[in-house]
């Protein structure tokens, strides 16, 4: 039931519900990964079942693909889609220029490929994800398992020349074993505290041997929809330079909450 949701979950839900309105029948839509993106998939599933919405979704992880199929969304691969009309995803951080840190859920590689193969990217988030400067959230970097310690050492050496506050790097773990991405890779989390020049850092990190991709999404997001616990949503459009606010209504017996 919606009344049992925490304020943060309510914020995620209203942002997701507002973003779902951008999806139209016939579209090819990238579906993000993470807790906020999961709300989006549920909202879109409801529109499929109750409103007859018909679109094809390209998930950015096996978790999202499983949920999408469960709620009745037609799932295809990016290769089958060719190009996407829209991608909707969450973010771990975003700044005033709508640059992002993503990858907390471990799907940054597929997320970045899908987002850049789209005409538009919409990010859905709660207000706590907005920061003045990126970097408080650890920056995920996906690396191949072979020689990962060498890649880590090279990353730490490169960070000495960067405008960052911290330089600690850690291997992401899943219990006692390294976390494995859908592509069979490892993730190094960079604890930087503050990133002075995100664009420069993103370019440098991707030049390190063994690095597959990093979680900085620069000039990729077009619009961010911010949810609040009281039902308000704020939409920021970086291309139009506009900010709008409205309220999303939802009812206590909404079917979306039956299994929450």
Tell me the binding residues for substrate: 33-36, 89-92, 102-105, 129
Number of CB atoms found within 10 A of residue 200's CB: 14
- Phi/psi for 231 (5° steps) reads 95, -5
From edge to edge, which strands make up the β-sheet containing 216-217? Answer: 93-94, 100-101, 216-217
Coil, strand or helix at 113: helix
Give the closest residue to 124 by CA, choosing from 222, 257, 6: 222
Catalytic residue among 50, 70, 74, 111: 111
Tokens at residue 59, please?
Answer: 């998930």
Taking CA 22 as the corner, what is the angle to CA 21 and CA 24, rounded to the nearest 5 degrees? Answer: 95
Q: Are strands 100-101 and 168-171 parallel, antiparallel or unpaired?
A: unpaired
Q: From the annotation, which residues make up the binding site? A: 33-36, 89-92, 102-105, 129
Q: Is 111 a catalytic residue?
A: yes
Phi-psi region of 219 (alpha: psi -120 to 50; beta: other; left: phi over 0): left
Coil, strand or helix at 148: helix
* Residues with active-site annotation: 111
């Amino acid at each position: 039931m919606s009344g049992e949701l925490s304020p943060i979950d309510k914020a995620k839900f209203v942002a997701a519900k507002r973003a779902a309105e951008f999806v139209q029948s016939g579209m090819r839509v990238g579906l993000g990964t993470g807790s906020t993106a999961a709300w989006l998939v549920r909202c879109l599933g409801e529109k499929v079942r109750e409103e007859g919405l018909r679109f094809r979704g390209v998930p950015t992880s096996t978790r999202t693909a499983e949920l999408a199929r469960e709620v009745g969304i037609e799932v295809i691969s990016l290769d089958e889609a060719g190009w996407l009309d829209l991608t909707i995803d969450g973010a771990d951080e975003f700044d005033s220029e709508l640059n992002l840190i993503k990858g907390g859920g471990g799907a940054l590689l597929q997320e970045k490929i899908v987002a850049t193969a789209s005409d538009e990217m919409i990010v859905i988030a709660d207000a706590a994800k907005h920061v003045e400067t990126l970097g408080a959230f650890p920056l995920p970097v996906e690396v191949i398992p072979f020689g990962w310690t060498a890649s880590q050492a090279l990353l730490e050496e490169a960070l000495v020349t960067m405008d960052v506050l911290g330089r600690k790097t850690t291997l992401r773990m899943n219990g006692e074993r390294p976390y494995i991405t859908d592509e069979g890779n490892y993730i190094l989390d960079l604890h930087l505290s503050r990133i002075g020049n995100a664009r420069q850092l993103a370019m440098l990190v991707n030049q390190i041997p063994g690095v597959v991709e990093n979680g900085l999404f620069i000039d990729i997001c077009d619009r961010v929809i911010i949810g609040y616990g009281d039902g308000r949503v704020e939409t920021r459009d970086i291309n139009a330079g506009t900010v709008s606010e409205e309220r999303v209504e939802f009812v206590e017996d909404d079917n979306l909450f039956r299994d929450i």
